[in-house]
């Protein structure tokens, strides 16, 4: 019998096209670029002649650094800037993920427990901001937090403060921006797991004498764990490489690695070093990304 | 049945206030006559006129729309094929790599995607002379690459939730695979393809980082222009632009919601 998966000889062509077209596209434009980044991060003297003319023109002044294979990585180790950037990114992404969880869990739980007709509307309200521009939503916090922004205005007019607070261009603003833009990614997977919980389980636990908090810690929380992990990864992974939020809301010392990479590339024009920064960032992310893929595959089957 | 406690409802209300207040504040300020955010100078639409007179912003908006339309359409075609490959084509060589390449762009930091694609374009140019220049063409390719993964995931989950008895019946009756896919599968997954296209379109319009890396000297998309403006601080014209974007999205969501509602009503009697 012929099926879509196992067609007769004449129909192989269609099957091949379905698989090959997206496959070739992704090989060329997704996988190959990584190989090139890796190669340029090691930029060795053989490549010192063209084909990489543009990059060597810019790096001409510091040619010696590019000639040695591991020098980009050695430089990353030596220069504190990169250490500080990586560590600070991890710290900011971790704390922001935790804050997203603290805000997102009760929200997702409230939606999951809300009367059925309300759930879709509440979910829509969570997703809606995601469809408006990310950049403009980050910008909205510049309007809120600035020296002449709404919050300072309100505080000044009530007499609580005498002079405007410095809120914009601080780490606090970066945390706020990440929680603001990424909390929907936490709420959606949490809602998906919490919604499936059988309410009878809680009643059973309560009937057996467990106090509400105990029920939450011993029953709800463990059962919600897949959603907590999925949501945390969905926030942590993109937050770690975030560029726009630290660039607009952060101060000069809000060094996140995405911003360092961007500046290394566009301001310092050091492509091999930027490539090395990218490779190390990828190495840091490979574990959470693989964990996330494992979870996705589990959810699919 | 358990009901949400007062505590849960308070957090939910706080959360929605947190999500929506900044958006409403920007919308309100867009009608402020004064250039200073501090002072309410009365109601005015002057920033909207200024926006319409700003050629730089208009050109960038046109470029963004062009890139978004083309990339969303190509991404929907490639992403649908990828979804079919993952869910209807059985086992094939290199399937694991393929699955990884579909899932990875969803979580890849934008700076890495942008940097790697730019280095690819530069290397390709050295080797083959193509692309001769970077701009709309390279941004479009970059956007297709990351948004096709989103389309593939949406289409695949629709296919996974759908049993293939109709397709098998059509095959048993002698339908050729291409005809079966075209006449049976595609109409069934059309809603998923439509949401995939919309998501791809939105992601493309929204992207700053990948476009900044892959664009050349001449071409600036709307997010690139907005970013260069707001980097210097609050800009009244951007407030007006944000309000327009939010209004368009609200209309789009309302239309999509209505279509989905209608579709559900059409579907539900048939399902029973």
- pLDDT tens for each residue of B177-194: 888 888 889 999 998 999
| pLDDT exceeds cutoff 60 at A64 | no
Residue A85 lies in a domain: yes
Chain A residues 73-102 within an 8 A CB cutoff of chain B? none
Tokens matching residue B133:
């220049």
Sorted by sequence, the CB contacts under 8 Å of residue B177 that are 6+ apart come out as: A2, A4, A7, A11, A14, A15, B171
The predicted model gives B57-65 an average pLDDT of 94
Higher pLDDT pick, A145 / A131: A145
| pLDDT exceeds cutoff 50 at A95 | yes
| pLDDT exceeds cutoff 50 at B20 | yes
Q: Is A155 in the same domain as A265? A: yes
A120 interfaces chain B, CB cutoff of 8 Å: no
In chain B, which residue's Cα lies nearest the Cα of A138?
Answer: B22
Residue A286 lies in a domain: no
> Cα separation of A14 and A4, whole Å?
10
Residue B108 lies in a domain: yes
The CA-atom distances, in angstroms, between B118 and each of A38, A240, B39, B44, B50 are 13, 21, 44, 43, 34
> Cα separation of B123 and B126, whole Å?
5
**Cβ contact A106–B12 (<8 Å):** yes
Angle at B139 between CA B138 and CA B141, to 5 degrees: 65
Q: Is A119 in the same domain as A234? A: yes
Residues of the domain holding B205: 54-232
Q: Is A49 in the same domain as A92? A: no
Per-residue model confidence (pLDDT) at position A153: 85
A213 burial level (CB within 10 Å; 0-12, 13-18, 19+): exposed
| pLDDT exceeds cutoff 60 at B270 | no
* Max mean pLDDT range (A77-81, A82-86, A210-214): A82-86
Residue A36 lies in a domain: yes
Backbone φ, ψ for residue A246 (5° rounding)? -65, -30
Q: Is A140 in the same domain as A150? A: yes
How many domains does chain A fold into? Answer: 2
B58 falls in which pLDDT band (50, 70, 90)? very high
Buried b (16+ CB within 10 A) or exposed e, A151-168: bbbebbeeeeeeebeebb
**How confident is the model over B91-127, as pLDDT tens digits?**
888 898 998 899 888 878 899 999 999 999 988 888 8
The predicted model gives A15-22 an average pLDDT of 91
Residue B105 lies in a domain: yes
What's A169's DSSP letter? T
A38 interfaces chain B, CB cutoff of 8 Å: no
| pLDDT exceeds cutoff 80 at A132 | yes
> Cα separation of A70 and A90, whole Å?
24
A53 falls in which pLDDT band (50, 70, 90)? very low
**How confident is the model over A219-255, as pLDDT tens digits?**
888 889 989 999 999 999 989 999 999 999 998 887 8
B187 interfaces chain A, CB cutoff of 8 Å: no
Residue B245 lies in a domain: no
For residue B7, the chain A residues in CB contact (below 8 A) are 106
Q: Is A156 in the same domain as A199? A: yes
- Do B68 and B201 touch, CB atoms closer than 8 A? yes
Residues of the domain holding A6: 1-78
Mean pLDDT, all residues of chain B:
88
For residue B88, the chain A residues in CB contact (below 8 A) are 4-5
Per-residue model confidence (pLDDT) at position A201: 79
Chain B residues 26-85 within an 8 A CB cutoff of chain A? 26, 29, 36-38, 78-79, 81-82, 84-85
Picking from A78, A96, A111, the residue at the C-terminal end of a domain is A78
For residue B3, the chain A residues in CB contact (below 8 A) are 113
**Cβ contact B36–A293 (<8 Å):** no
Task: Please list the alpha-helical segments (H only) found in chain A.
Answer: 12-26, 32-41, 53-58, 63-67, 71-78, 80-113, 116-131, 134-145, 150-158, 171-196, 199-207, 212-215, 221-240, 244-249, 257-266, 271-300
**Cβ contact A135–B226 (<8 Å):** yes
| pLDDT exceeds cutoff 50 at A67 | no
- Do A107 and B12 touch, CB atoms closer than 8 A? yes
Q: Is A62 in the same domain as A193? A: no
- Percent helix, strand, coil in chain B, to 5, is 80, 0, 20
The predicted model gives A42-49 an average pLDDT of 49
Sorted by sequence, the CB contacts under 8 Å of residue A192 that are 6+ apart come out as: A227
Residue B6 lies in a domain: no
Dihedral angle at the C-alpha atoms of B14, B16, B19, B22, nearest 10 degrees? -80
For residue B90, the chain A residues in CB contact (below 8 A) are 3-6
Minimal Cβ distance to B25: which of A37, A114, A144 = A144
B166 interfaces chain A, CB cutoff of 8 Å: no
Residue A261 lies in a domain: yes
Residue A275 lies in a domain: no
Residue A284 lies in a domain: no
B169 interfaces chain A, CB cutoff of 8 Å: no
A20 falls in which pLDDT band (50, 70, 90)? very high
Sorted by sequence, the CB contacts under 8 Å of residue A112 that are 6+ apart come out as: A119, A191, A194, A195, A197
Residue B106 lies in a domain: yes
HSE-CB for B104 with a 13 A CA cutoff: 20
Minimal Cβ distance to B78: which of A21, A106, A234 = A21
Please state whether A255 falls in left (phi above 0), alpha (psi between -120 and 50) or beta: beta
pLDDT-above-90 percentage for chain B: 46
Per-residue model confidence (pLDDT) at position A290: 83
Residue B83 lies in a domain: yes
A154 interfaces chain B, CB cutoff of 8 Å: no
**Cβ contact A15–B89 (<8 Å):** yes
pLDDT-above-70 percentage for chain B: 95
Q: How many CB pairs under 8 A join A and B?
A: 281
| pLDDT exceeds cutoff 70 at A72 | yes
Per-residue model confidence (pLDDT) at position A197: 85
For residue A41, the chain B residues in CB contact (below 8 A) are none
Q: Is A67 in the same domain as A98? A: no
Element (H, E) at B121: helix B110-128
**Cβ contact B89–A18 (<8 Å):** yes
Tokens matching residue B177:
């695979």
Per-residue model confidence (pLDDT) at position A250: 92
**Cβ contact B233–A142 (<8 Å):** yes
Picking from A21, A56, A78, the residue at the C-terminal end of a domain is A78
Q: Is A219 in the same domain as A250? A: yes
Per-residue model confidence (pLDDT) at position A148: 83
Q: HEC states along B3-45?
A: CCCHHHHHHHHHHHHHHHHHHHHHHHHCCECCCCCCCCCCECC
How many domains does chain B fold into? Answer: 1
Q: Is A215 in the same domain as A120? A: yes
Q: Is A107 in the same domain as A204? A: yes
A46 burial level (CB within 10 Å; 0-12, 13-18, 19+): exposed
B68 falls in which pLDDT band (50, 70, 90)? very high
Picking from A58, A78, A98, the residue at the C-terminal end of a domain is A78
**Cβ contact A139–B238 (<8 Å):** yes
Residue B239 lies in a domain: no
A15 falls in which pLDDT band (50, 70, 90)? confident
Q: What is the CATH number of the domain that holds B136?
A: 1.10.3720.10
Mean pLDDT, all residues of chain A:
83
- Tokens 């899932």 locate to B103
Residue A281 CA, distance from chain mean position: 12
For residue A24, the chain B residues in CB contact (below 8 A) are none
Minimal Cβ distance to B89: which of A1, A2, A19 = A19
B271 falls in which pLDDT band (50, 70, 90)? very low
Q: HEC states along A227-257?
A: HHHHHHHHHHHHHHCCCHHHHHHCCCCCCCH
Smallest Cα distance from A79 to chain B, Å: 21
Smallest Cα distance from A106 to chain B, Å: 6
Residue B216 lies in a domain: yes
Q: Is the dihedral of CA A123, A125, A127, A131 positive or negative?
A: positive
Q: Is A13 in the same domain as A154? A: no
> Cα separation of A204 and A184, whole Å?
31
Number of residues that this document lists for chain B: 272
B147 falls in which pLDDT band (50, 70, 90)? very high
For residue B11, the chain A residues in CB contact (below 8 A) are 103, 106-107, 110
The predicted model gives A144-169 an average pLDDT of 88
Dihedral angle at the C-alpha atoms of A83, A100, A283, A262, nearest 10 degrees? -60
Q: Is A54 in the same domain as A7? A: yes
**Cβ contact B107–A238 (<8 Å):** yes
């Amino acid at each position: 019998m012929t099926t879509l998966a196992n067609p007769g000889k004449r129909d192989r062509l269609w099957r091949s096209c379905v698989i090959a077209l997206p496959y070739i596209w992704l090989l060329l434009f997704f996988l190959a670029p990584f190989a090139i980044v890796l190669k340029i991060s090691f930029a060795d003297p053989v490549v010192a002649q063209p084909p990489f003319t543009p990059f060597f023109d810019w790096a001409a002044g510091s040619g010696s650094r590019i000639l040695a294979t591991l020098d980009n990585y050695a430089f990353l180790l030596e220069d504190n800037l990169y250490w500080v950037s990586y560590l600070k990114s991890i710290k900011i992404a971790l704390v922001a993920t935790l804050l997203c969880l603290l805000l997102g869990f009760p929200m997702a739980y409230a939606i999951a427990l809300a009367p059925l007709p309300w759930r879709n509307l509440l979910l829509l309200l969570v997703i809606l901001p995601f469809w408006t521009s990310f950049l403009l939503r980050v910008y909205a916090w510049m309007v809120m937090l600035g020296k002449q922004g709404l919050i300072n205005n309100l505080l000044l007019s009530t007499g609580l403060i005498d002079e405007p607070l410095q809120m914009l261009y601080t780490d606090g603003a970066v945390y706020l921006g990440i929680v603001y833009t990424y909390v929907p990614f936490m709420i959606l997977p949490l809602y998906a797991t919490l919604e499936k919980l059988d309410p009878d389980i809680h009643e059973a636990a309560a009937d057996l004498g467990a106090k509400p908090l105990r029920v939450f810690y011993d029953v709800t929380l463990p059962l919600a764990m897949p959603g907590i992990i999925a949501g945390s990864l969905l926030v942590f992974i993109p937050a770690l490489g975030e560029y726009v939020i630290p660039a607009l809301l952060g101060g000069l010392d809000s060094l996140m690695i995405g911003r360092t990479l961007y500046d290394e590339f566009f301001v310092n024009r050091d492509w091999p070093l930027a490539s090395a920064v990218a490779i190390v960032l990828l190495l840091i992310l490979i574990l959470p990304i693989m964990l996330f893929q494992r979870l996705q595959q589990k959810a699919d089957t | 049945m358990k009901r949400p406690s007062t505590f849960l409802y308070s957090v939910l209300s706080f959360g929605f206030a947190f999500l929506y207040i900044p958006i409403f504040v920007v919308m309100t300020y867009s009608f402020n006559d004064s250039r200073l955010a501090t002072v309410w100078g009365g109601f005015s639409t002057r920033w909207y006129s200024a926006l319409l007179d700003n050629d730089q912003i208009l050109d960038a908006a046109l470029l963004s729309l062009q890139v978004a339309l083309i990339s969303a359409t190509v991404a929907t075609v490639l992403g649908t094929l990828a979804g079919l490959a993952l869910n209807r084509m059985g086992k094939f060589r290199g399937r694991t790599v393929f699955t990884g390449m579909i899932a990875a762009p969803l979580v890849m930091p934008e700076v890495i995607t942008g940097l790697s694609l730019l280095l690819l374009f530069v290397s390709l140019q050295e080797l083959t002379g193509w692309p001769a220049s970077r701009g709309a063409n390279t941004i479009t390719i970059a956007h297709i690459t990351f948004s096709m993964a989103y389309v593939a995931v949406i289409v695949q989950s629709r296919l996974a939730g759908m049993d293939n008895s109709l397709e098998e019946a059509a095959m048993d009756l002698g339908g050729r695979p291409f005809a079966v896919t075209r006449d049976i599968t595609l109409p069934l997954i059309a809603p998923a393809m439509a949401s995939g296209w919309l998501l791809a379109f939105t992601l493309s319009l929204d992207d700053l980082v990948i476009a900044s890396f892959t664009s050349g000297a001449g071409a600036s998309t709307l997010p690139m222009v907005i970013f260069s403006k707001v980097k210097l601080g609050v800009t009244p014209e951007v407030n007006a632009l944000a309000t327009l974007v939010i209004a368009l999205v609200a209309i789009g969501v309302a239309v999509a919601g209505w279509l989905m509602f209608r579709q559900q009503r059409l579907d539900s009697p048939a399902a029973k």
